[in-house]
Chains A and B, each alone.
Chain A
Amino acid sequence: MQNNAWRADFPILTQTIRGKPLTYLDSAATTQKPQAVLDALTHYYTHLNANVHRGVYYLSEQATKAYEVARQTVAEFIHAPSVSEVIFTRGTTEAINLVATSLARLKYFQSGDEIILSGMEHHSNIVPWQLIAEETGIVLRVIPVLADGTLDLDAYTALFSAKTKCVSVVHVSNVLGTINPIEQIVAIAQAHHVPVLVDGAQAVGHIPVDVQALGCDFYAFSAHKMYGPTGIGVLWGRSEWLHRLPPYQGGGDMIRSVSFEKTTFADIPAKFEAGTPAIAEVIGLKAAIDYTAAMPWNMRLAHEAAFTAAVIARLQTIPGVRMIGNAASRIGVISFVMSSAHPHDVGTILDREGIAVRVGHHCAMPLMKQFAVPATIRVSCGLYNDETDIAHLIPALSRVIELFGRPESHHG
């Protein structure tokens, strides 16, 4: 793996932390932003700022145009068949809450109906369903995770019954890096006429996503995990579903007409975008898509695969390191534990070296329980990471052993 030219596009990476160069290995939490995205935000606020879908004046017209062009860019990015199927949300979490809440409001669920999630879900694809379970009486069924960090598809198939009303699964695990076989998961669900929502938060920044090829009914993701701004995400949904679902929130921009007797709602996507949207962030998301579109996917995939393989190979040379998850189909989200030290202590020691990794349960407590660990250390990559980051990480991990001693036979 060669050092790469993309790194220079990310100004934050040039700084030093406590006198050490910043080694950013937490892209699964949020990616850094390239200059192109920073420029787009500044340009918008400097030259274009006005509310969208409202003014008859020049600036509002230009802002509205930029906002809607961004929607078109997003539609092309995920291969959506129709641009009106792209709904801007605050992020993946809000997108999932939108679907869960609107399905419940549609009275789509009867008490005792079942929805299928997986054992590797982020809390954001568990808790929204639990919230509506309280009011609808639905039951959550869980696809087991196998020891290698893949889903047990036989067990998944066996979960279906006449009561199954929805499947909601993660595309790429934020802890294990596993890429789940969504096409297969969808095909099984379709055989039972059950819709599928896919949480794509960890996928969009690292693998090509084609919602039509996946065959799912809903796809949710966040801009900030694909080099875009925070506070903006996308729900893509099939038109049939979006027309059927009632609004998630009420407010301006989502109505056709309002009187105190009766309100009629706007068509999709406006029906689901109540209130002034995150206009600058939408434009920032477009800039992120345009920025990454300039790099061929095969180059990005090869770069991240080489980085992932190099990190795993080097980690395995450190005494007492245990990898959590080793799926064949994966991205550069790498979890491990060290027998000599707790993940939080490792995190503190790495931080002193200017190294940012995530330590903790990664908002996936059921998965931690499955692997019998309270927490893991997670190294995750972006297209800016390269050999220099590994050269900082590995000696810093050796320092953990220096402080805590060689691993003991038990893990305490």
Chain B
Amino acid sequence: MDDALRDLYQEVIVDHGRHPRNRGVLLNANAVHEGYNPLCGDQLTVYIREEAGRVLEIQFEGHGCAISMASASLMTEAVRGKTVVEVEALFHAFHDLVTEQGKPSEAALGKLVILKGVAEFPMRVKCATLCWHTIRAALRHDPAVVSTE
């Protein structure tokens, strides 16, 4: 088995992909957004309860590959309690991580670093970033469905 595959599908990713955390509809959400990847059909909805510019609660629903589900699951854990500005910074750091641009601070990324292996698979970057594009749109209260295409 090649190492790039082992890096991509680490146990934590397989686990989060199979048992995503914070999955389900958040009934008292005040920022909701849908994201969609028309090429592969991955679809997710992010539900956020935001107060005073801070993500108090976040859940998601949807379906997709292990990478997209694990990324969404890990994202919900990473952004809870963060301000909108901090989420935006995290989005950029994560994007740099999976597209190998710049040198994002691994300390700032925390557990998200585990998705670093995606960078070896350009066709799968959109799987990992769909949830992040969706949360950004939700926090901007952007009316359009996020599409990766």
Q: List residues of A whose CB falls within 8 A of some B CB.
A: 18, 341-345, 348-349, 352, 359-361, 365, 368, 374-375, 399, 402-405, 408, 412
Contacts and interface: CB of A to CB of B under 8 A. Distances in A.
Nearest to A405: B14
B12 to A, nearest CB: 13
B64 interface: yes
A348 B63 contact: no
29 contacts: A18-B2, A342-B64, A342-B65, A344-B40, A344-B65, A345-B9, A345-B66, A345-B67, A348-B8, A348-B123, A348-B124, A349-B5, A352-B4, A352-B5, A359-B40, A360-B39, A365-B41, A374-B43, A374-B63, A374-B64, A399-B1, A402-B1, A403-B6, A403-B9, A403-B14, A404-B9, A404-B66, A405-B14, A412-B19
Contacts of B63: 374
Contact of B66 (A342, A359, A360, A408): A342
Contacts of A349: 5, 9
Contacts of B19: 412
Contacts of B67: 344-345
Given A342-B64, A352-B4, A359-B40, 9 more contacts: A341-B66, A342-B66, A344-B40, A344-B42, A348-B121, A349-B9, A360-B41, A375-B41, A404-B18
Contacts of B137: none
Q: Could you say which interface size class chain B belongs to?
A: 20 to 34
Nearest to B66: A345
Interface in B1-41: 1-2, 4-6, 8-9, 14, 17-19, 39-41
A405 B13 CA distance: 13
Which of A344, A368, A375 is packed against the most chain B CB atoms within 10 Å?
Answer: A344
B100 to A, nearest CB: 17
B130 to A, nearest CB: 12
Interface in B36-71: 39-43, 63-67
Contacts, number: 59
Contacts of A404: 9, 14, 18, 66
A333 B63 CA distance: 25
Given A341-B66, A344-B124, A408 B18 contact: yes
A343 B65 CA distance: 7
A360 B14 CA distance: 20
A360 B40 contact: yes
Nearest to A408: B18
Which of B14, B19, B39, B43 is packed against the most chain A CB atoms within 10 Å?
Answer: B14
Contacts of A341: 66
Contact of A374 (B1, B5, B18, B41): B41
Contacts of B139: none
A375 B14 contact: no
Contact of A412 (B18, B39, B40, B43): B18
Nearest to A343: B65
A62 B14 CA distance: 61
Contacts of A402: 1
B127 interface: yes
A412 B73 CA distance: 14
A360 B2 CA distance: 24
Contacts of A412: 18-19
Nearest to B62: A374
Nearest to A341: B66
Nearest to B15: A405
B5 A403 contact: yes
Which of B4, B19, B40 is packed against the most chain A CB atoms within 10 Å?
Answer: B40
Contacts of B1: 399, 402-403
A19 to B, nearest CB: 9
A399 B66 CA distance: 15
